[in-house]
Amino acid sequence: MNEQRRNTLKSGGGLGVLGLFVAAGLIKPEAALAAWDKKVFDAKTMDDAYGAIGSGKPVASKEIAITAPDIAENGAVVPVSVVSRLAKTERIYIMIEKNPSMVAANFTIPEGTEAEVTTRVKMGQTSNLHALVKADGKYYFATKEVKVTLGGCGG
């Protein structure tokens, strides 16, 4: 087992493929951040965020389930899970209406995998949490209110 680990590290496996390409000068660090869309993360209203994402007016769906606490004692660490039962789910966005940056997370769902994500988000105050799902080229959403007793975004 130790020999296999040593061989992997010698071959650069410990750096990861992207790290190897950057270290070799084949990819510039800026290219690794190309997926970052500043307009999406700088949106100040839900309509602005939807517009930057390109979703237009998404449709409410009961096929999207959000699991989050009704009351978060510490807004710095709020566990959130989103499950989409919509066929051909492609993306899941977790958005927090009253946060300085509304888009808290953005996940690409590979074809053929279960559309379920779990993460932890920061919430500065009591707010609606939105799950925006792109499925089969269309956008859908679900909403859940989370009450925050101790703010996590500078509060």
Write down the domain spans for the chain. 2-31, 35-148
- Joined together, the tokens standing for residue 43 give 């949106």
What's the pLDDT at 126?
94
Task: Determine if residue 70 is left, alpha or beta; phi over 0 gives left, psi from -120 to 50 gives alpha, anything else beta.
Answer: alpha
CATH number given to 35-148: 2.60.40.2470
Beta strands in 8-75 (DSSP E): 59-60, 64-67, 71-72
* 0.85 exceeded by pTM: no
Single out the residue of 127, 121, 82, 87 nearest to residue 105, CA to CA.
121
The span from the CA of 105 to the CA of 142, in Å, is 15
| Beta-bridge mates of residue 80 | 119
Percent of the chain at pLDDT exceeding 70: 74
Per residue in 14-34, pLDDT tens? 444 445 444 555 545 544 444
Give the three-state DSSP class for 105. Answer: strand
Q: Are strands 89-96 and 103-108 parallel, antiparallel or unpaired?
A: antiparallel
